[in-house]
Structure 1
Amino acid sequence: MRHLSLTAVGGDLNDTVSLVEGREPVLAPGDVLVEVDAAPVNNADLLFTMGWFAAQPRLPQALGAEGVGRVVRVGDDVDRSLTGRRVLILPTFVQGTWAEQIVVPAHSIVPLSVTDEADVLQLAMLPVNPATARALLHDYVALRPGDWIGLNLANSAVGHYVITLAKQAGIKTLAVVRREEAAKQVRALGADAVVVDSPELGERIAAALNGEHLRLALEGTTDPEQTAALVRSLEDGGTVVTFAAATGQAPSVPVGDLIYRGIVLRAFFILNWIRDTAPEKRQEVYAELATLVEQGVLKAPVEATYSLQDHQAALSHAARPERTGKILFVPRNPRS
């Protein structure tokens, strides 16, 4: 049962991550053994290896937060009908999905009912970014068809999913990006308005909205100037939700907008959502997202897949700043 393991926090991943042979799996009551089909490399995984994430490694630490696979064996107190089922593996940063097989508590998987025609790579990416995008659209403001939302970091994985899910719901998206190449990507996804960052960003956003206002702003850069530009076109009493911090700065809203216009600043973290959401609701959300994958509606670009043996190349590829698609480990049948 081979898996990728972190042996030291920080430093060169070529030195701190290795492929190791695990022990024969032992299932405690409530556990399941899952054969992993695919597991993505997310930015959070890379931050985790550096000790820059909410969860901290306990060395040696199995790596990989999310993925998809099939249950091959169940422990006591687990429904036997799960055996053979395809399941999502929810992120905990305890068990590692960059593996051939993993033992995971049954409460950390979500059984799927999609057919084998559903793209396994897209399914593997469901637990984190698509669930984040759906929560951003549904859990903060009661949006209606025709409403406008704004988002920066729009060419990120979360941004891609937000635009797709908003389009499905008839919600209009104003996307802010930093480069024209990224603008082309989000236009192709179906964003209703795309604005490239500039010193006149606030004016460009207002012009694109043509007199209308945003009901919700989704903030992923934590760049104060970008946030302020979005807030200028946000309705009074509107909500800003921070879902990432690409610049490493603390999220902020101009004090005048907070005090005089009643703008609300919130934040989203997927591990908290998984912890706080009832299992029945989680099952409903992931079933909905998996159906959209099976229908070909929900699809993130994949740049390459790698075997576990090629982990050095995979992690190097995942760290490239100009990457345009996701990197995944496919333990048994890689393609690139």
Structure 2
Amino acid sequence: MRGARIEAFGEPTKVLELVDEHEPAAPAAGEVLVGVEYAPVNMNDLYVIQGVFPVRPSLPSFVGNEGVGRVLALGGGVEHLKVGDRILIPLYAFSWRERLVVPAAGLFRLPDTDPKQLAMLGINPPTASLLLDEASDLRPGDWIVQNAANSGVGRSVIAIAKARGLKTINVVRRPELIPELEAIGADFVIVDEDGSIDKIHAAVGDDRVQLAIDGVAGKSSALIAGALTAHGTFVVYAYMSGGLVTISPFELIVKRVIARGFFMNHADIEPKIPAALREAVPLVASGAIHVPIAAVYPLSSLREAVLHAERGGKVLLELGGAD
């Protein structure tokens, strides 16, 4: 069985190695053997490999934080699944390998739809769902504002917000993304540039903007915080710019904006993930959540896949473990 393994943390193209290992043992009671079909190459995968992500595996270790596969064998007592069912690989189960054994608890059969889109279901869509829950007083017709709107999380926010009756203000860096995001249901898309805040206020009018979702940090934080109405909630889940989160004191003092951080692995968040996943599954199946894929690489082209992901674009590994 082939898999991607590290023996030390470091630069992914240097420490990753493709290895042949013994097949996994037969699943014990309460477990299933899964053949992995596809697994994304995410930035958080690369952070794990570098050793800078909060999740740090014991070394040596396989890697890979999400993916999709088929059930190949059932351990004793597993009755809610059957051989052949397609399931999500549990988060941080180290999915960049052809086969693995995982606990059956919490797994559920996925619909018969594009497995490549399903492979990206485990992190970004539930993150979007849970971010939308961060403002407890949202009601249908309210606006939410986000940057990084073209990201996997951003696209999921657009779809899930629309399903909940919310409207979205979406900040992007390139004008060519405006028609693309409008086509998937974004209500208002704007380029992050001088004068953007005035255009946002003009589009929203007197409506409420109760939630700002920040995946960029830097000066973009100030823009989306400035779009909030009084007592709004500002949530940071990533910092793609690498800069500091910047909010005008006016937002905190006069508007009394509440600022907080979000991470899926926080103890109070983890129990909410299954419900968030189930909310997202039909949206992925219907195509309402659809992430453009830049390339799919076989596991044998692991280095090329990592280099492509570092350049940008959604990249998947094809594992073939369910064949």
Give the TM-score taking structure 1 as reference length.
0.87
Letter in 2 for 1:177: V
List aligned pairs for 1:281-292, cutoff 5 A: 282=274, 284-292=275-283
Deviation at 1:228, TM superposition (A): 1.9
Deviations 1:132-167 (A, max 9, x none): 111112343332222111001111110011112222
Instruction: Specify the alignment match of 1:35 in structure 2.
Output: 35
* Residue of structure 1 in register with 2:109 after alignment: 112
User: Alpha carbon RMSD of aligned pairs, Å?
Assistant: 2.4
Matched residue, 2:318: 330
Contact between 1:304 and 1:328, CA under 8 Å: does it hold in 2?
A: yes
Q: Higher relative contact order by CA 8 Å / sep ≥ 6: 1 or 2?
A: 2
- 1:277 is paired with a residue whose SS is helix
Superposed CA offset, 1:30-78 (max 9, x none): 43221112111111111111122111243222111111112222345x4
Change (3 A) 1:74 1:231: same
Q: Report the 3-state secondary structure (helix = DSSP H, G, I; strand = E; otherwise coil) of the residue aligned with 2:229.
A: strand
1:253 to partner: Cα distance: 3.0
Question: Are residues 267 and 125 of structure 1, via their aligned partners in 2, closer, same or farther at CA, if it must alter by over 3 Å?
Answer: same
| 1:299 equivalenced with 2:287 (yes/no) | no
Distance 1:120 1:142 in 2: 35
Alignment partner, residue 64 of structure 2: 64
Specify whether residues 298 and 122 from structure 1 end up closer, same or farther in structure 2 by C-alpha distance, changes over 3 A only: same
Aligned residues: 320
1:16 aligns with 2:11: no
C-alpha displacement of 1:106: 2.7
The residue that corresponds to 1:253 in the other structure is 247
Contact 1:3 1:96 in 2 (8 A): no
> Are residue 180 (structure 1) and residue 180 (structure 2) matched?
no
SS of aligned partner of 1:53? coil
Structure 1, residues 255-313: CA drift from partner, whole Å, max 9, x if none? 332233221112221223796316xx71x432332222222322211122111111111
Structure 1 position 333, deviation (Å): 9.0
Q: Is the 8 A contact 1:10 1:49 kept in 2?
A: yes
1:277 to 253, 260, 271: 271
Structure 1 residues 67-216: aligned runs within 5 Å: 67-76=67-76, 78-84=77-83, 85-92=85-92, 95-107=93-105, 109-114=106-111, 116=112, 118-216=113-211
Q: Any idea what the Cα deviations from partners look like across 1:120-140, whole Å, max 9, x if unmatched?
A: 111111110001111112343
- Unaligned 5+ segments in structure 2 are none
Match of 1:221 in 2: 216
Distance 2:268 2:100 in 1: 20
Identity of aligned residues (%): 38
List, as ranges, runs of 4+ consecutive aligned residues in structure 1 with deviation greater than 4 Å.
none
Shift of 1:113: 4.8
